[in-house]
Structure formats: C-alpha cells, structure tokens
Amino acid sequence: MGATKNIWTAMEANHAKQSHNGNSTFDDHSILHSNLSVDTALPFPLMVPRVIALCKDLFRKWAKLNDSCFSVDTVSGGITNLLLKVSVKEENGEYVSVTVRLYGPNTEYVINRERDQIPLSCRIWCQVAWCIWKWDGTIFYKYMRKPKLVSEIAKQLRRFHQVEIPGSKEPQLWVDIFKFFEKASTLQFEDTDKQRTYETISFKEVHKEVTELKELTTLLNSPVVFAHNDLLSGNLMHNEEQEKLYLIDFEYGSYNYRGFDIGNHFNEYAGYDCDYSLYPSKDEQYHFFRHYLEPEKPYEVSEKDLEALYVETNTFMLASHLYWALWALIQARMSPIDFDYLGYYFLRYNEYKKQKRMCFYLAKSHISGSGKA
C-alpha cells in the first residue's frame, strides 16, 4: 500500500477509508471495496438506486438508512467517465457528501488498466470501478486561469511529479500514441455518415506527423516524471474554506515527459469546445513556470530556465493534440456517451497543424542555440 499512500500524502488529499471493525469511516488507511457494480449504460434514473446500494455497501453506517436519505446528482466534467455527487442525511441529522466516479464502458481500449510499471497496490486503486473522495471542496471549471490558482496548480503538479512509484520508469507517451494510432486507423463505423467522415482522414499523414514530432521531442531531453496526463479543470478540487487544491482522477497516470503533462494542462484551458483563444499567453505560462520550478522563490527563476521550459512545454503541447485526437477516434467508435468525438478529432488535429510551424521553429532554434543540433 505504500506507493498508493505516497501519491495521496504528496498531494495532501483526503480520501475515503474503511475502519478495521467493518464500519466505514474517513479516518483510516484502507481502500474501500465492494462486489457491487453499476452499469453506466443504464438510464440515469435506473442507475441511481444502484449507486445508493453501492454507497451503503461501502459505508456500513449507511446500510440501514432509507434510500430517501440519499440524493444523487451528476457533476459536469469528463467525457470518458461519469462523476456523481452523493449527498446523505445521516442518523444524527448531519449531511455528508461524497463523489463517486464510474468508469465509462469500453475505456480499456484507451486506458491501460495494468501498466507494468505501476505497482500492484496502485493498480488495484486505479482499477476499481469507482473512486470516492469526501466532498470537502468544490470542483471548478472557470477559475483555473486566476493567477493565485495557477500558482497553486503549478506547485501541486510539481509535488505530484516528485512522487516515486516503484517499477519501470519508461515514458508512455509514444507507446500510447502509436497504440492509439494502430486502433484508430482500422475502425469501421456502422453509421454511414460517420464512416464517410472517417474515410476523409489521411492516416499516412497522421503517422508522418507523429513520427516527426517524436523525433523532435527526443532532442529536448524532457525529464521523465510520474505524470497525471489528464489535468483538465474537472480533475482539480478546490477547498475554498481551507484554500487547498487537490489533483484527482489518476486513471491516465503513468511515467511520462514533464513537458507533456504541462502542455496538456495548458491545452485544457480551451475546454471541450476547443476555444484555443483561451490557451495561456507566454506571460501566463511564465507565471506557471516560476511557481512550478521554484515554489518558494518563484521570481528567482532565470530567464534561461523559463525559456527552456516554454519551448519544452509548447513542443509537447503538439503531442497532446495528437494523443487526444487519436483517442477521440477510438471513442467515436466505442463510447456510448453523447459527444461528437469525430468532430473533436478534427478540432484537435487541426489545432496541431495550425501550431506546428511556430512550435517546430521554436524547438529547432532552441536546440540549435544550445548546441544539441
């Protein structure tokens, strides 16, 4: 269990726990488990009683409560999984809330649930069909750009990157992208319009772009860290009363390049609508970098270090577009979630092509100037 606890300790996150006498509480160090499951393909009204039953099974002190003591609401967020808020009126009249995350169906096509480099204890934690946290904060979406929050996100991400997970530390970015490419390039859609749209994609061109970008990023020597890989606003929890920020939802977590994790985070400023006018400016990125590189003395970071991380991040930002573009194609075929994944592919791939020339120029100029060419 040590590796799993290290993640939580590093992030100072509270997580749901189970007491040794079988009465579930939030106060010890066990991971909750249940043999019950929830079919995410069910209509939401039919899913609710199953979620309540799951919570009763996990938290024994709720087992005898009437279902009317529970309320279940969806929390806006990801397009892979379903996040729910469960509010409970306990016997003493107090209200407690938890969040329950349900894996979407067919996610095994895009998420490796059994990465060899993640130790067994951590894999078990990642593989359960739900993840649950005490609701002591708010999930936020619109305030990620505020300078104070930006600096806190940078500090927390740095701490996350310092977590040591036993096992192989091989970066997974290009392994995953080529795996996605292999699956995405051989799809067949039952829907005629989707198939016609899919056939407009030149996978020969995409493969060329992936190969070319991989070769370029290799020259940047980006540090390999244990990365979140999916740091969008919905995977941040902010406790307003305590002014604490938590990173959550580690199912895409793996050893990866630092530049990819940061560049991917910056891309998420655009949201699912892909409004890339929201992508952080160079000054905004520098603010993030200062607090990431030197949390205690951010304004002592050298211009050279800022520029180097700027180039690294914005080169790997391109890889983020390719990663999620190919991911979206697989989701378009496999996921029952009502989302225009095919359209999302084109939004991400077109933004990659739009930014490629400038980012390649910056990277090659930086490499040449540092004597690595």
What integer pLDDT is reported at residue 250 of this predicted model? 81
In this predicted model, what pLDDT tens digit does every residue of 265-319 receive, in sequence order? 999 999 889 999 999 999 999 999 999 999 999 999 999 999 999 999 999 999 9
- Per-residue confidence (pLDDT) for residue 110, from 0 to 100: 54
Average pLDDT over every residue of 133-151: 65
Distance (Å, whole) CA 85 – CA 158: 28
Q: Is the pLDDT of residue 3 over 50?
A: no
What is the pLDDT confidence band of residue 25, given thresholds at 50, 70 and 90? very low
- Bigger pLDDT: 114 vs 1: 114
Radius of gyration of the chain (CA): 21
pLDDT digits (tens, 9 = 90+) for 79-102: 666 778 899 999 888 888 887 777
Overall average pLDDT of the 153-171 stretch: 92
89-93, 102-106, 236-240, 366-370: which range is least confident on average?
102-106
pLDDT for residue 248: 80
Sheet (strand 82-89) strand order: 70-74, 82-89, 95-102, 130-134
**Distance between CA atoms of 56 and 42, rounded to whole angstroms?**
20
Topology at the third CATH level for domain 34-104: Phosphorylase Kinase; domain 1 (3.30.200)
The pLDDT assigned to 236 comes to 85
Contacts of 241 (CB under 8 A, 6+ apart): none
Please determine, for residue 359, whether its predicted confidence score (pLDDT) is greater than 80. Answer: yes
Q: Mind listing the pLDDT tens digit for each residue in 179-233? A: 999 999 999 999 999 999 999 999 999 999 999 999 999 999 999 999 999 999 8
Total Cβ atoms within 10 A of residue 156:
24
Q: How confident is the model at residue 167 (pLDDT cuts 50, 70, 90)?
A: confident
Question: Is 8's pLDDT higher than 50?
Answer: no
Whose tokens are 């990620």? That residue is 144
Hey, where are the domains in the chain? 34-104, 141-371
Phi, psi of 153 (to 5 degrees): -60, -45
pLDDT of residue 166: 82
Mean pLDDT to the nearest integer, 340-360: 98
Return the CATH architecture of domain 141-371: Alpha-Beta Complex (3.90)
The Cα 185–Cα 197 span in angstroms is 13
- DSSP per position, 255-298: EEEHHHHHHHHHHGGGTTTT-GGGSPPHHHHHHHHHHHH-SSSG
Start-to-end CA distance of the chain, whole Å, equals 44
User: Which residues, at least 6 apart from 141, have a Cβ–Cβ distance to it below 8 Å?
Assistant: 76, 233, 234, 271
Least confident of 9-13, 67-71, 309-313: 9-13
* Higher pLDDT, residue 19 or 100: 100
Phi/psi for 55 (5° steps) reads -65, -40
This prediction's pTM: 0.76
**Mean pLDDT across the stretch 155-169?**
91
Residue 51: C-alpha distances to residues 34, 80, 203, 328 (Å): 12, 18, 41, 28
pLDDT-based confidence at residue 37 (cuts at 50, 70, 90): confident
pLDDT score of 335: 86
Provide CB contacts within 8 A for 205, sequence distance 6+: none
Over residues 243-257, the mean pLDDT reads 86
Res 284: pLDDT: 97
**Average pLDDT for the chain:** 82
Residue 27: pLDDT above 70? Answer: no
What percent of the chain lies above the pLDDT cut of 90?
Answer: 54
| CA–CA dist 217, 256 (Å, integer) | 12
Q: Which residue has the higher pLDDT, 105 or 261?
A: 261
**pLDDT for res 367:** 95
Residue type, 18: Q
| Confidence bin at 20 (pLDDT 50/70/90) | very low
Residue 261 CB partners (closer than 8 Å, separation 6+): 157, 161, 225, 227, 228, 229, 231
The CA distance from 287 to 220, in Å, is 22
